Amino acid sequence: MTIAKGERLPDVQVMLASENGPEAAQTADIFAGKKTAFFAVPGAFTPTCSAKHLPGFVEKKELLDAKGVDQIVCMSVNDAFVMDAWAKDQNAYGKVVMVADGNGDFTQALGLAMDGKGFGMGLRSKRFSMIVDDGVVEELNVEEGGAFEVSSADYMLGQL
């Protein structure tokens, strides 16, 4: 079942990509006490994710901050080494917390997994965004199919 507005995010261990290497973290700790612009992509380095999704949040960081966002979190069902390389490629460090959900445990607990086997990608996350306040979902925006409309930084700015 898909998580809904008003529900608390599940507490799952994930890996953070950081300039100091991978770090294990609990999702409850990542989101605790913060207003978070949280978004997920089907895969690091994939076309829409690299050309529009992550860059939009990197570019709009100051505007999101001005609307009361304490942090931006990007998640993908990739390992922490891939997320690290992507963060460096996109100049995301210092602007976006990069979460590697390598086994898809958090994605599945959210009910937002998709089957990417037809594209040789296996289990992946649907493209989505959320506004999360202290671990509770305030807004949830899940894209249909291959769309990129309701999960963008611009769309989220309109919700804040």
Place of tokens 């809904």: 4
Task: Given the residues 49, 73, 96, 99, select the one marked as catalytic.
Answer: 49
Q: d(Cα 135, Cα 11) in Å, to the nearest integer?
A: 9
Rounded distance between C-alpha atoms, residue 81 and residue 66, angstroms: 31
Active site residue 49: yes
Contacts of 107 (CB under 8 A, 6+ apart): 40, 75, 77, 101, 113, 123, 124, 125
Amino acid at 12: V
Active site residues: 49
